[in-house]
Amino acid sequence: MAGATFTDETLMAFADGALDDATARRVVEAARCDERVASRIALFRSTREVLDRTAEAERADPVPDALMARVRATIDREPPNEAAGNVVAWGGRPREGRSRSVAWPAAIVASLALAVGLGTGWIIAPTGEEGALNAFDSAWVERAGLTYPLSRLRSGESGTTEVGDVTLVSSFRDASGAFCREFEIATEAQTYVSVACHGGGSWEVRFAAVTGGTVEGYAPASSLDALDAYLAGIGAGAPLDAEAEAAALSEPGG
Protein backbone atom coordinates (compact mmCIF):
# COMPACT_ATOMS: atom_id res chain seq x y z
CA MET A 1 0.00 0.00 0.00
CA ALA A 2 1.61 3.16 -1.19
CA GLY A 3 2.76 5.51 1.51
CA ALA A 4 1.58 3.28 4.36
CA THR A 5 4.66 3.02 6.52
CA PHE A 6 4.35 2.44 10.20
CA THR A 7 6.84 3.03 12.94
CA ASP A 8 7.91 0.26 15.29
CA GLU A 9 6.01 2.05 18.03
CA THR A 10 2.77 1.86 16.07
CA LEU A 11 3.24 -1.78 15.15
CA MET A 12 4.08 -2.59 18.75
CA ALA A 13 0.96 -0.79 19.93
CA PHE A 14 -1.01 -2.82 17.42
CA ALA A 15 0.48 -6.07 18.73
CA ASP A 16 -0.32 -4.94 22.27
CA GLY A 17 -3.91 -4.05 21.36
CA ALA A 18 -3.25 -0.46 22.32
CA LEU A 19 -4.00 1.15 18.96
CA ASP A 20 -7.15 3.04 18.09
CA ASP A 21 -9.53 1.25 15.73
CA ALA A 22 -8.96 3.40 12.69
CA THR A 23 -5.18 3.07 12.79
CA ALA A 24 -5.46 -0.62 13.63
CA ARG A 25 -7.52 -1.18 10.47
CA ARG A 26 -4.86 0.52 8.40
CA VAL A 27 -2.19 -1.66 9.99
CA VAL A 28 -4.18 -4.80 9.22
CA GLU A 29 -4.51 -3.62 5.65
CA ALA A 30 -0.78 -2.97 5.37
CA ALA A 31 0.19 -6.25 6.99
CA ARG A 32 -1.86 -8.11 4.41
CA CYS A 33 0.34 -7.02 1.54
CA ASP A 34 3.57 -6.08 3.23
CA GLU A 35 5.68 -8.92 4.54
CA ARG A 36 7.88 -6.57 6.55
CA VAL A 37 4.92 -5.11 8.44
CA ALA A 38 3.58 -8.57 9.17
CA SER A 39 6.86 -9.90 10.47
CA ARG A 40 7.39 -6.82 12.59
CA ILE A 41 4.00 -7.35 14.23
CA ALA A 42 4.92 -10.99 14.78
CA LEU A 43 8.11 -9.90 16.50
CA PHE A 44 6.26 -7.69 18.96
CA ARG A 45 3.64 -10.38 19.60
CA SER A 46 6.27 -13.01 20.27
CA THR A 47 8.21 -10.83 22.69
CA ARG A 48 5.00 -10.06 24.53
CA GLU A 49 4.20 -13.76 24.81
CA VAL A 50 7.65 -14.64 26.06
CA LEU A 51 7.52 -11.84 28.61
CA ASP A 52 4.02 -12.85 29.70
CA ARG A 53 5.24 -16.33 30.47
CA THR A 54 8.21 -14.99 32.41
CA ALA A 55 5.96 -12.65 34.35
CA GLU A 56 3.57 -15.46 35.14
CA ALA A 57 6.36 -17.59 36.56
CA GLU A 58 7.47 -14.65 38.65
CA ARG A 59 3.97 -14.07 40.00
CA ALA A 60 4.10 -17.55 41.52
CA ASP A 61 6.67 -16.24 44.00
CA PRO A 62 5.00 -15.88 47.37
CA VAL A 63 5.18 -12.59 49.25
CA PRO A 64 6.89 -13.10 52.61
CA ASP A 65 4.36 -13.27 55.43
CA ALA A 66 6.46 -10.87 57.45
CA LEU A 67 6.11 -8.22 54.77
CA MET A 68 2.34 -8.62 54.56
CA ALA A 69 2.20 -8.31 58.33
CA ARG A 70 4.27 -5.13 58.27
CA VAL A 71 2.06 -3.56 55.61
CA ARG A 72 -1.11 -4.52 57.47
CA ALA A 73 0.30 -3.04 60.65
CA THR A 74 1.07 0.17 58.79
CA ILE A 75 -2.47 0.37 57.52
CA ASP A 76 -3.93 -0.35 60.93
CA ARG A 77 -1.86 2.36 62.50
CA GLU A 78 -4.27 5.14 61.70
CA PRO A 79 -3.66 7.99 61.51
CA PRO A 80 -0.14 7.44 60.20
CA ASN A 81 2.36 8.19 62.87
CA GLU A 82 4.40 10.86 61.18
CA ALA A 83 6.60 11.83 64.06
CA ALA A 84 7.37 8.28 65.04
CA GLY A 85 10.70 7.14 66.29
CA ASN A 86 13.53 9.54 66.20
CA VAL A 87 12.39 12.07 63.68
CA VAL A 88 12.77 15.56 64.92
CA ALA A 89 9.31 16.95 64.63
CA TRP A 90 9.21 19.92 62.42
CA GLY A 91 5.86 21.36 63.04
CA GLY A 92 3.53 19.91 60.50
CA ARG A 93 3.55 18.89 56.94
CA PRO A 94 3.61 21.66 54.39
CA ARG A 95 1.13 21.00 51.65
CA GLU A 96 1.82 23.63 49.07
CA GLY A 97 4.94 24.24 47.10
CA ARG A 98 5.96 27.39 48.88
CA SER A 99 8.79 27.62 51.27
CA ARG A 100 7.94 28.13 54.89
CA SER A 101 11.50 28.63 55.90
CA VAL A 102 10.63 31.30 58.39
CA ALA A 103 8.55 28.87 60.37
CA TRP A 104 11.05 26.06 60.53
CA PRO A 105 13.89 27.11 62.76
CA ALA A 106 11.67 27.74 65.77
CA ALA A 107 9.99 24.39 65.39
CA ILE A 108 13.28 22.62 64.96
CA VAL A 109 14.78 24.32 67.93
CA ALA A 110 11.81 23.46 70.10
CA SER A 111 12.11 19.80 69.27
CA LEU A 112 15.85 19.86 69.67
CA ALA A 113 15.40 21.01 73.21
CA LEU A 114 13.37 17.87 73.65
CA ALA A 115 16.09 15.81 72.05
CA VAL A 116 18.60 17.18 74.50
CA GLY A 117 16.34 16.25 77.36
CA LEU A 118 15.97 12.73 76.12
CA GLY A 119 19.35 11.88 74.87
CA THR A 120 22.99 11.94 75.53
CA GLY A 121 23.57 15.48 74.51
CA TRP A 122 23.18 17.00 71.18
CA ILE A 123 26.58 18.06 70.08
CA ILE A 124 25.49 19.95 67.08
CA ALA A 125 25.62 23.05 69.23
CA PRO A 126 28.96 24.72 68.61
CA THR A 127 31.30 24.82 71.52
CA GLY A 128 31.50 27.97 73.51
CA GLU A 129 27.82 28.73 73.39
CA GLU A 130 25.99 29.28 76.59
CA GLY A 131 24.25 25.94 76.37
CA ALA A 132 21.24 27.30 74.61
CA LEU A 133 20.43 26.11 71.16
CA ASN A 134 19.97 28.99 68.88
CA ALA A 135 18.09 28.89 65.65
CA PHE A 136 19.95 27.27 62.82
CA ASP A 137 20.36 30.60 61.16
CA SER A 138 23.19 31.77 59.00
CA ALA A 139 25.27 32.77 61.98
CA TRP A 140 24.97 29.27 63.37
CA VAL A 141 25.97 27.73 60.05
CA GLU A 142 29.00 29.97 60.01
CA ARG A 143 30.04 29.07 63.55
CA ALA A 144 29.53 25.37 62.93
CA GLY A 145 31.93 25.53 60.01
CA LEU A 146 29.29 24.39 57.57
CA THR A 147 29.58 27.26 55.13
CA TYR A 148 32.55 25.84 53.32
CA PRO A 149 31.23 22.29 52.82
CA LEU A 150 27.79 23.56 51.81
CA SER A 151 29.24 26.01 49.33
CA ARG A 152 32.07 23.99 47.90
CA LEU A 153 31.73 20.23 48.32
CA ARG A 154 30.08 18.24 45.59
CA SER A 155 27.47 15.63 46.41
CA GLY A 156 29.18 12.52 47.62
CA GLU A 157 32.09 14.42 49.12
CA SER A 158 32.76 14.68 52.83
CA GLY A 159 34.42 17.17 55.08
CA THR A 160 34.99 17.94 58.73
CA THR A 161 33.21 20.62 60.69
CA GLU A 162 33.04 21.86 64.24
CA VAL A 163 30.10 19.55 64.88
CA GLY A 164 31.11 16.41 63.08
CA ASP A 165 31.83 14.93 59.71
CA VAL A 166 29.54 16.18 57.00
CA THR A 167 28.67 14.36 53.80
CA LEU A 168 26.83 16.10 51.00
CA VAL A 169 23.99 13.98 49.64
CA SER A 170 22.48 16.02 46.86
CA SER A 171 21.80 19.46 45.47
CA PHE A 172 18.48 20.79 44.27
CA ARG A 173 16.50 23.96 43.96
CA ASP A 174 13.34 24.71 45.88
CA ALA A 175 10.22 26.22 44.36
CA SER A 176 11.63 29.72 44.68
CA GLY A 177 14.83 28.70 42.90
CA ALA A 178 17.03 28.81 46.00
CA PHE A 179 20.02 26.47 45.86
CA CYS A 180 19.66 23.79 48.54
CA ARG A 181 21.85 20.96 49.81
CA GLU A 182 20.79 17.79 51.48
CA PHE A 183 23.53 16.55 53.76
CA GLU A 184 24.29 14.25 56.60
CA ILE A 185 26.22 15.09 59.70
CA ALA A 186 27.71 12.27 61.70
CA THR A 187 28.35 13.43 65.21
CA GLU A 188 29.82 11.15 67.82
CA ALA A 189 26.42 9.96 68.92
CA GLN A 190 24.10 10.31 66.00
CA THR A 191 23.70 10.85 62.33
CA TYR A 192 21.40 13.59 61.14
CA VAL A 193 19.99 14.23 57.73
CA SER A 194 19.50 17.87 57.05
CA VAL A 195 18.63 20.40 54.38
CA ALA A 196 20.14 23.85 54.07
CA CYS A 197 19.27 26.46 51.50
CA HIS A 198 21.24 29.42 50.31
CA GLY A 199 19.75 32.88 50.21
CA GLY A 200 20.87 36.43 50.72
CA GLY A 201 24.51 35.43 50.65
CA SER A 202 24.34 32.86 53.43
CA TRP A 203 23.12 29.40 54.34
CA GLU A 204 20.26 28.49 56.60
CA VAL A 205 19.41 25.03 57.91
CA ARG A 206 15.78 24.35 57.24
CA PHE A 207 15.32 20.75 58.18
CA ALA A 208 16.97 18.23 60.45
CA ALA A 209 16.07 14.72 61.46
CA VAL A 210 17.85 12.01 63.36
CA THR A 211 18.55 9.06 61.15
CA GLY A 212 19.82 6.83 63.88
CA GLY A 213 23.33 5.86 64.73
CA THR A 214 26.09 5.42 62.25
CA VAL A 215 25.04 1.85 61.67
CA GLU A 216 25.40 0.81 58.11
CA GLY A 217 22.14 0.65 56.27
CA TYR A 218 19.31 2.99 55.68
CA ALA A 219 17.88 5.81 57.62
CA PRO A 220 14.66 4.81 59.36
CA ALA A 221 11.68 5.11 57.09
CA SER A 222 10.11 7.62 59.42
CA SER A 223 12.91 10.17 59.11
CA LEU A 224 13.09 9.69 55.36
CA ASP A 225 9.34 10.14 55.23
CA ALA A 226 9.65 13.38 57.08
CA LEU A 227 12.41 14.50 54.76
CA ASP A 228 10.44 13.44 51.74
CA ALA A 229 7.38 15.31 52.89
CA TYR A 230 9.49 18.31 53.68
CA LEU A 231 11.10 18.29 50.24
CA ALA A 232 7.70 17.96 48.61
CA GLY A 233 6.47 20.82 50.74
CA ILE A 234 9.12 23.25 49.58
CA GLY A 235 8.62 22.19 45.99
CA ALA A 236 12.10 20.71 45.78
CA GLY A 237 13.16 19.96 42.26
CA ALA A 238 14.93 16.81 41.15
CA PRO A 239 18.51 16.46 42.32
CA LEU A 240 20.86 18.46 40.13
CA ASP A 241 23.22 16.37 38.06
CA ALA A 242 26.94 16.74 38.52
CA GLU A 243 27.25 19.40 35.86
CA ALA A 244 24.39 21.55 37.11
CA GLU A 245 25.67 21.20 40.64
CA ALA A 246 29.15 22.27 39.65
CA ALA A 247 27.68 25.31 37.92
CA ALA A 248 25.65 26.24 40.99
CA LEU A 249 28.65 25.77 43.28
CA SER A 250 30.75 28.04 41.14
CA GLU A 251 28.31 30.91 41.33
CA PRO A 252 29.63 33.87 43.28
CA GLY A 253 28.73 33.42 46.89
CA GLY A 254 27.13 30.05 46.10
Partner 1 sequence: MTDRFETDLIEAVPALRRYALSLCRRGDVADDLVQITAERAMAGRRGYDPATAVRPWLFRILRNAWIDMTRRQITRGTEVDVHEMPEAAIYDGSRASEASLALRETEAALATLPADQREVIRLVCFEELSYAEAAEVLEIPKGTVMSRLARGRVALAEKLGLNR
Residues near partner 1 (CB under 8 A) are: 7-9, 12-13, 16, 18, 39, 43-44, 46-48, 50-55, 57-61, 63-64, 66-68, 70-72, 74-75, 77-78, 80, 82, 155-156, 167-170, 184, 216, 218-219, 221-222, 224-225, 227-229, 239
Closer to partner 1 at the Cβ: 3 or 64?
64
Q: Which residues of 143-174 are buried (b: 16+ CB within 10 A; e: fewer)?
A: bbbbbebbbebebeeebebebbebbbebbbbb
Closer to partner 1 at the Cβ: 188 or 228?
228
Closer to partner 1 at the Cβ: 42 or 139?
42
Task: Give me the least distance between CB of 131 and partner 1, in Å please.
Answer: 32
* Edge-to-edge strand list for the sheet holding 179-186: 158-160, 165-173, 179-186, 191-199, 202-210
Task: Give me the least distance between CB of 84 and partner 1, in Å please.
Answer: 9
Please state, as a whole number, how many other Cβ atoms lie within 10 Å of the Cβ of residue 231. Answer: 19
Closer to partner 1 at the Cβ: 155 or 161?
155
Closer to partner 1 at the Cβ: 92 or 121?
92
Closer to partner 1 at the Cβ: 125 or 210?
210
Task: Give me the least distance between CB of 245 and partner 1, in Å please.
Answer: 13
Strand partners, 184: 167, 193
Task: Give me the least distance between CB of 88 and partner 1, in Å please.
Answer: 17
- Angle made by CA atoms 100, 104, 107, in degrees to the nearest 5: 140
Task: Give me the least distance between CB of 74 and partner 1, in Å please.
Answer: 5
Task: Give me the least distance between CB of 78 and partner 1, in Å please.
Answer: 7
Contacts of 141 (CB under 8 A, 6+ apart): 147, 150, 196, 202, 203, 204, 205
